[in-house]
Amino acid sequence: MDQRTYIMIKPDAVKRGLIAPIIQRFENTGLVIERLELAVLTREQAAANYVEHEGKPFYEGLIEYITSGPVVKMVLAGPEAVMVCRKLMGATNPRDAAPGTVRGDFGLTVDANVVHGSDSSESARREIDIFFGE
Ligand SMILES: Nc1nc2c(ncn2[C@@H]2O[C@H](COP(=O)(O)OP(=O)(O)OP(=O)(O)O)[C@@H](O)[C@H]2O)c(=O)[nH]1
Ligand SMILES: [Mg+2]
């Protein structure tokens, strides 16, 4: 059974010219890219995506950062797509992320941690609707 997940290359990685090597990592898994678009997120989209973090000390900085420049929005599909991508991304804090993962290899700080990926099938549906819904 194929599953869909929402993946986003964050502004720091786009600014550093890392779009191609990061997409390569995701393609290497065998998952299929169904949607792909460069865009600057609206504040509304950013707030909807991170609603679970509203009120936390890092929330305002997170919204500022994620809307600070272009991101690459993607939908990937295939068996266990959510889990496969989360494993590939590595831990939230790049300092804890294993070498070989996207955050482990390209990330420096928890604030600018290179990529976002849905954490469940339900989150994926919600996020795909936020970022690709009509
Ligand atoms: N400064 C700071 N940022 C945090 C902290 N926890 C989470 N964040 C930021 O908020 C984002 C969302 O947090 P989570 O959803 O818990 O982590 P995640 O699922 O690995 O990351 P995303 O894929 O971006 O959603 C993270 O990617 C971090 O950039 C924290 O304790 N301090
Ligand atoms: Mg998350």
Beta strands in the chain (DSSP E): 2-9, 32-39, 71-79, 115-117
111 in ligand 1 pocket by Cβ < 6 Å?
yes
Domain that holds residue 15: 2-132
Query: Which residue has the CA at smallest separation from atom 13 of ligand 1?
Result: 92
Q: What positions carry a catalytic annotation? A: 116
| Cβ proximity of 94 and 107 under 8 Å | yes
Q: How many structural domains does the chain have?
A: 1
pLDDT at 1: 74
On the question of pLDDT at 134 being above 80, the answer is no
The predicted-structure confidence for 16-66, as pLDDT tens digits, reads as follows: 999 999 999 999 999 999 999 999 999 999 999 999 999 999 999 999 999
User: Is any ligand 1 atom within 6 A of the Cβ of residue 47?
Assistant: no
- The CA 1 to ligand 2 mean position distance, Å, reads 23
Q: Are 11 and 66 in contact (CB under 8 A)?
A: yes
pLDDT per residue as tens digits for the range 116-126 = 999 999 999 99
Residues with Cβ within 8 Å of 41's Cβ and at least 6 positions away in sequence, in order, are 49, 66, 67, 71, 131
> Over the stretch 65-89, which tens digit does the pLDDT of each residue have?
999 999 999 999 999 999 999 999 9
Ligand 1 pocket mutation pick from 7, 65, 92, 116 by most atoms within 8 angstroms of CB:
92
CATH of residue 117: 3.30.70.141
